[in-house]
Every structure is written in structure tokens, then in C-alpha cells.
Chains A and B, each alone.
Chain A
């Protein structure tokens, strides 16, 4: 069930892309397209894997490329952004040099011409999907794997439910449903997402869920509760960003 949105209001316009893997060699690639962003969207969502290895220098490239684009920018990190164990520095650069809001188990509200748009975000993690998922059982490493996903999903669900806004969006890096993984090898689905994220999204009246991570996946899907899901990994959408209009 979606939040009520008066049909006479202008549509909410959401731009989104993930997996841009910024570094010096691609600096400036997105800027020509981003120059048009304020005419096309009210907010830009970045669905993780913003960098190649999660270094401070790569984060600076993200800040330069996606900062000051004329609309609020809200991001989650991806697994690549954790590679060099510099997450705090990456977040600091994105926030302070790029003006980018980075979410991890929390939320933000953006005032758009149409409404107060709430975005709850978390990187998420793997584990697989109903009927074919891992369980918190056995070796400590296995328990830790699923406990990580479960904790992140719980925080995402709380963040979504606690939002005080007109319309809710969920932003993750890992996939909340298997629909948008179509095209990926079945064997790696447990490393691409978890049904627990979808369950968290369905626990609130979420209007749209956006994720990345699955480069060979499919753009469109839905949760069991009917929330539309969009995989915006750059190799999937094959453009600088996609724009979704709600309303």
C-alpha cells in the first residue's frame, strides 16, 4: 500500500543510479547529464558502490562528480565502498565535500514541490530469498553472516516505519527481491540480496524501493507486498541515471 498523494499535486520526480564506481579515470563522465538533472528530478539517489575500493581519494571523486548538482543527493554505500576499511573517511568526504546525505539504517526527509519525501536507507547484505536462503545456524561465521543481514534489515524497517513524511522510499545497495536479479547466475543470488530487506520494506507503506549491486540484473520488480522495486545499477539502466515519477 502506498502513501496517499493528492493526484492534483505535481508528481514526485526521483532520479537514481548505483554502481558508478568513481575514480580519477572517469571523473567528469556524468557531469554533462547531471547538468540536466534539476529540470528532470527533485532528488538524486545513489544506490551504493560509489567508488571502486572505498578510498578517501575515490570518495573525493564522488563528491566532485555528484556534489552541487542542483537537487539534494541521498546515498547508501555498497560493498566496494567498504573494501579499504575507510568507511568513516568516505562518509565524511561525501557529506562535507559533496553535500551528500549518506544513510545507514536511518532516514532523511526532502521537501519537494509535491510533498515531503522520506528516504530510509541501508547498504543491506546477502543471504538469499525465501525458500532458498541461508539460516542463522551452524558455524559462527554462518550465524554472523545472517545476523548481519537481519540486523541491517531490522534497522531499515524501523527507519521506514518511523519516517514522518508524505511518501516513503527505501534505498539499498543489496537487492530486496529476486525479481530484479533476473540475468544474474542463480548460484550467486544469496550474495546479491536478501528477502529480509524486502520484508522490512513491506513493513511500512513504502512507495518505491531502489537498489543496485546486480550489474547483470533487471530493472523492474516488486516485493511480495506490491512495492515497486527498481535495480538502478549503472550497467542495468545504461544511462547516467533513471527518473521515476510518483503521483
Chain B
């Protein structure tokens, strides 16, 4: 069943599971789907989020929109004059 308790349980899984430790993912309920969005540092971490949420909450339809944070050098500096 998808409700606020499931939403809270997924949020805690993302943070407290030793294989995840992700606090920056937003969990929202949209119609009958749970949406996860935010950014992580690698595709492996995104894949593990999906795997563990699907494994622990197999009855919840999931939509994942998690990106990988870019690590390119800055194109310009900010002048604080």
C-alpha cells in the first residue's frame, strides 16, 4: 500500500541503510506512484537506491528521476567585491 507511512519508510531506508546513506533524495507521492528525485555521486549509487527500494517495497510503483552530480571544473569565478 502506498501512503504517507510508506513515504516515510522509504525516506528512512535511503538514509539509514548502510548501503545507501543518502539524505538528499526527495520522496513524493504522485497519484499512485512514488517519485524519487535528486542527485547522487555515481550511477552505482542510483542503481542501488532503485534496487533496494524495489526489494523492500515491491508493491509500490516507482518513478526514478535521480541524476548524477557533475564534477566539471568551474567555467568562471564569482567576484565578491
Contacts and interface: CB of A to CB of B under 8 A. Distances in A.
Given A33-B73, A40-B77, A240-B74, A216 B41 contact: no
Given A33-B73, A53-B21, A244 B78 contact: yes
B33 interface: no
Contact of B38 (A29, A32, A80, A235): A235
Interface string A187-220: 0000000000000000000011000000110000
Given A33-B71, A235-B24, A235-B69, A25 B45 contact: yes
Given A25-B44, A245-B79, A239 B74 contact: yes
A28 B38 CA distance: 22
A26 B45 CA distance: 10
B42 interface: yes
Q: Which of B73, B76, B77 has the most CB of A within 10 A?
A: B73
Contacts of B45: 25
Nearest to A7: B81
Interface string A120-158: 000000000000000000000000000000000000000
B80 A53 contact: no
A238 B18 contact: no
Nearest 8 interchain pairs by C-beta: A215-B24, A243-B77, A33-B73, A235-B39, A240-B71, A29-B71, A26-B41, A52-B21
Contacts of B76: 243
